[in-house]
A and B are shown apart, each in its own frame.
Chain A
Amino acid sequence: MERLGLCLRNLGRHGWRTRIIVFIAFFGAFLTFVFENLVEDIAVKQSDMFARGTAGHFRIVHRDVETRNSFGYYYCEPADMLQPGQIESLKAYLAAQPEVSGCEERIVFFGVLYGAQDEEHGFAAMAMDLERFDRNFTDLFYARGRPVTRGQPDVCAASWYDYEENKTVAVGSSYVMLLPSPDGGYVDRLVTVQGGIDFKSLPRENLGFGGLYFDLEAFRSMAGYSRASATEVIGFLKDARSEKAVLARLRGFLAEQHPDLQVVSWRYYAPIFGEIVVGFSVALRFVEAVLLAICILLVVKLTSFAVLERYGEIGTMRAIGFGRADIVFQFALEGFLAITAGVAAGFAAGAALIAVLHRTGIANSLTFFQYVIGRGFYPSFHPPKILRAAAVFLAVAVLAPLFPALAGGRLPIVRALERR
C-alpha cells in the first residue's frame, strides 16, 4: 500500500505527463471498445446476417447451376430444379444434423424466369415494396413484362429513380427493371405487377434474427407450378463456425445419394460479404495496431522522461537500500496505473456509448444499405472481443513502461546521484 501511495503521488507530481498517458490510454481504449463492438457488429454480424438471410449458410442446388458471385440470384433452367423426392431426402438429412438449425426449399427468382432463348418461364420479374421493406420484407410482387429497347441506360436509371421517388410498388403498376439475361448480360424489361405473395418471419431461433421466407405453396399456386419443385434447399447453422465440418459431411452425403447436386457456401455465392468481413477486420486490426503503437511509443517516451527527471531520486533510493528490482517495479507500476486508469475510463465511456446506441439504434437512411442491412443497427456487447481488447491493453500497461523502468533500474548509483 505504501508503494502504491508513492506511485500515485509521483503520478500526481508528473501532472501533465500523467494526463497525457491517461488520455492516450483512454482514447485508444475508447476507440478500440467502440470498434470491437460497433464496427465489428456492423461489419461481421450484418454482413453475415445478410448473406445468411438471402440464402442461408449454405444452399444445395443442381451441379449445373453456377452461383459464384450471384448474390443469391442465379440462372436456373427449369430442368435443373430439385424434384419433390430430392427435396424430401435433403430436408430429412439436414433435420438429423445437430449443427443445423433449420432448412427449407426455395424458388430463386430472376434466373428461373428465362429459358435458353430468353423466353420467360412462369413469371418475368419481381419487385419489392420498399416502403414496407423494413417490416421483414413483407410483400413480394410478381409481374409479367415485355422487353424494351436494349442498351438504353436512361431507362435503367429511370427505374432506380422511380424507386427512389415513389418507394412503392402496387399491383397493376408498371416499371422498367434491369434483369439478368441467360447470355450473361442484362436486359431491360417493362414489368407490370400482377399479384403479390406474403412474406412471413421465421422464428428467431431458426435464423438467429427476424428473417424472411415466402409462402412457397401460395407462390407455386400463383405462378402455375403444380409440382412441389424448387431451385434449391437452403440450410441454417446454429453456429456459423461449424460450416466447414457440416459442409464436408454434406458433400459426402450428396456424392452418395444425390450426385447431380452440389452444396455451396454463402461465401461462394456472395464472396463480397466474406471480403467485407475480412476487410473490416483487417482495417480494424490496422487502426487498433496504429493506436497501440502510438500508445506504446508515447508511454515509453513519457516514462523515459520521468526516469530522466528522477535520476537523483533513483540514486537516493538505491543508496538507502532499494534494489534494482524495486526501482523497476516503482516506475513500471506508475506507468501501469496511469494506463490502466485511462483504459478503464475508455472502456467505461465506450460501454456507455454502445449501451446508448443499443437502445436508440443507429439510423441508416441510405437506400442501398437499407436493402443490405436494414434501416438501422443496434450494436451490442461482444464479451470475447472486450476480453481480448482488455488483455491487449493489460499487456501494453505491463510492457510499455517496462523498458524505461529497466533503464532506470540499471542506472549506476553514483551516476544517478550526480544528476539532480
Chain B
Amino acid sequence: MNGIHVTALSKNYQLGKTVVHALRDVSLELESGSFACIAGPSGSGKTTLLNLIGLVDEPTSGSIRIGEQDVRALGEAARTRYRSRHLGFIFQSFNLLPVLTVFENVRLPLLLHRELSAREKQERVEELVEAVGLADHARHKPFELSGGQRQRVAIARALVTHPKLVLADEPTANLDTETGTEVLDLMQRIHRQQRTSFLFSTHDPRIMERAGRIIRLRDGRVEAA
C-alpha cells in the first residue's frame, strides 16, 4: 500500500430537516506503514472519517485513494471484498461474537479466505493468539475475558487476514489506563514487527503521545495534520 490519500472529503447526515455536517472538506495523506492517530473531542468527526476510510460508509463528496485504488469507484461487492482483503477493524466495544471462543473469533474473518488451507488458517490463528498473549484463553468465550483481553482478541482478529491498514475506533476508550496502555503497546509492537499501518482515533492525550502522527479534527475539519 502506498498510503492513503483523502481529498476534499465531506459527509453530511440528514436528521429530519436538519443537515449535520460530520466532515467538511477534509484532505490528508497518510504514508504506508504509519502509526497515526485521529484526535479530537467527541463529535469532531473521528469515527466518521474512520468509517469512510474503512469503506463502511460513503462520503457525500470528495475522494479516497488507498494506494493506487480509488475506493470511491468501487461497487458494493468490491468494497466488501476490499475490506476483507486489505483492512482490519478494531472497535471501541470490541465487537466479538459472543457464541465463539477466542480462537474462533480470531479465525472468523478467514472464513472468507478460501484460498488458505485449513492448516494455514490454524497456524495463523495460533500465532496471533500467542502473539496477543491469549494462548491460555483460546477456548474461552468473550464473557469469560476481561476488557483488555477482549480488545486483544479484537486486535488479533483484525490482523489475521494480514491487512495493509488497521482502523481502530477509540480502541482504549472502554479500558482502564493501565490496560489501555497495554493494548496500545501491543498495537505498536505489531506495527513495528509487521509494518502494518495503524490509524486509530482517540481523545486521550496520553494515547496521542504514542502516535507517530496526529491528525487533529474539530467540528468536522482538519485542525492540524
- A residues near B, CB below 8 A? 2-3, 6, 9-10, 12-13, 312-313, 315-324, 326, 412-414, 417, 420
Q: How far is the CA of A10 from the CA of B100 in the complex (A)?
A: 9
Q: Is B80 positioned at the interface, with any CB of A under 8 Å from its CB?
A: yes
* B111–A2 touching, CB < 8 Å: yes
* A321–B80 touching, CB < 8 Å: yes
* B97–A313 touching, CB < 8 Å: yes
Q: Residue of A at shortest CB range from B81?
A: A321
Q: How far is the CA of A10 from the CA of B99 in the complex (A)?
A: 7
Which residues of A lie under 8 Å from residue B99 when comparing CB positions?
6, 9-10, 12-13
Q: Is B137 positioned at the interface, with any CB of A under 8 Å from its CB?
A: no
Min CB–CB distance A121 → chain B (angstroms): 85
Which residues of B lie under 8 Å from residue A10 when comparing CB positions?
99
Which residues of A lie under 8 Å from residue B112 when comparing CB positions?
321-322, 326
Task: Among A321, A323, A412, A413, point to the contact of B85 (Cβ < 8 A).
Answer: A321
Task: From known contacts A2-B111, A414-B51, A414-B56, infer whether A319 and B98 are also in contact, taking CB-CB under 8 Å.
Answer: no
Q: Residue of A at shortest CB range from B57?
A: A414
User: Given known contacts A316-B95, A321-B85, A322-B111, what 18 new A-B pairs fall within 8 Å (CB)?
Assistant: A2-B107, A9-B99, A312-B93, A312-B95, A313-B95, A315-B56, A316-B89, A317-B108, A319-B54, A319-B56, A320-B88, A320-B157, A321-B112, A322-B84, A324-B76, A413-B57, A414-B56, A417-B56
Task: Among A13, A319, A420, point to the contact of B83 (Cβ < 8 A).
Answer: A319
Min CB–CB distance B144 → chain A (angstroms): 15
Q: How far is the CA of A412 from the CA of B79 in the complex (A)?
A: 13
Give B68-103 as 1s and 0s: 1 = Cβ < 8 Å from A's Cβ atoms: 000000001100110111011101010101111000
12 pairs, CB–CB < 8 Å, chain A vs chain B: A9-B100, A312-B93, A313-B97, A316-B95, A316-B97, A319-B54, A320-B89, A320-B157, A323-B77, A324-B76, A413-B51, A413-B57
Q: How far is the CA of A319 from the CA of B55 in the complex (A)?
A: 8
Min CB–CB distance A4 → chain B (angstroms): 11
What are the 7 closest A-B residue pairs judged by CB atoms, nearest first? A321-B84, A9-B99, A316-B95, A413-B56, A323-B80, A321-B83, A414-B57
Which residues of B lie under 8 Å from residue A413 when comparing CB positions?
51, 56-57
Q: How far is the CA of A12 from the CA of B99 in the complex (A)?
A: 9
Q: How far is the CA of A417 from the CA of B108 in the complex (A)?
A: 17
Total contacting residues, chain B, CB less than 8 A: 29
Min CB–CB distance A316 → chain B (angstroms): 4
Min CB–CB distance A127 → chain B (angstroms): 74
Which residues of B lie under 8 Å from residue A3 when comparing CB positions?
111
* A319–B100 touching, CB < 8 Å: no
Q: How far is the CA of A126 from the CA of B54 in the complex (A)?
A: 93
Task: From known contacts A6-B99, A6-B100, A321-B81, infer whether A316 and B57 are also in contact, taking CB-CB under 8 Å.
Answer: no
Q: Is B59 positioned at the interface, with any CB of A under 8 Å from its CB?
A: no
Q: Is B109 positioned at the interface, with any CB of A under 8 Å from its CB?
A: yes
Q: How far is the CA of A13 from the CA of B109 in the complex (A)?
A: 21
Which residues of B lie under 8 Å from residue A9 when comparing CB positions?
99-100
Min CB–CB distance B123 → chain A (angstroms): 16
Which residues of A lie under 8 Å from residue B89 when comparing CB positions?
316, 319-320
Min CB–CB distance A294 → chain B (angstroms): 29
* A320–B108 touching, CB < 8 Å: yes
Min CB–CB distance A412 → chain B (angstroms): 8
Which residues of A lie under 8 Å from residue B100 when comparing CB positions?
6, 9
Task: Among A6, A318, A412, A417, point to the contact of B80 (Cβ < 8 A).
Answer: A318
Q: How far is the CA of A320 from the CA of B54 in the complex (A)?
A: 10
Q: How far is the CA of A45 from the CA of B89 in the complex (A)?
A: 65
Q: How far is the CA of A318 from the CA of B95 in the complex (A)?
A: 12
Min CB–CB distance A105 → chain B (angstroms): 75
Which residues of A lie under 8 Å from residue B108 when comparing CB positions?
317, 320
Q: How far is the CA of A58 from the CA of B93 in the complex (A)?
A: 78
Min CB–CB distance B140 → chain A (angstroms): 14
Q: Residue of A at shortest CB range from B85?
A: A321
Which residues of A lie under 8 Å from residue B98 when comparing CB positions?
13
Min CB–CB distance A176 → chain B (angstroms): 78
Min CB–CB distance B118 → chain A (angstroms): 10
Give B165-206 as 1s and 0s: 1 = Cβ < 8 Å from A's Cβ atoms: 000000000000000000000000000000000000000000
Which residues of B lie under 8 Å from residue A417 when comparing CB positions?
56, 91, 95
Q: How far is the CA of A320 from the CA of B51 in the complex (A)?
A: 12
Q: Residue of A at shortest CB range from B121?
A: A2
Q: Residue of B at shortest CB range from A420?
A: B93
* B97–A320 touching, CB < 8 Å: no
* A316–B91 touching, CB < 8 Å: yes
Q: Residue of B at shortest CB range from A321?
A: B84
Which of B87, B97, B100, B161 has the largest number of chain A CB atoms within 10 A? B97
Which residues of B lie under 8 Å from residue A414 when comparing CB positions?
51, 56-57
Min CB–CB distance A95 → chain B (angstroms): 68
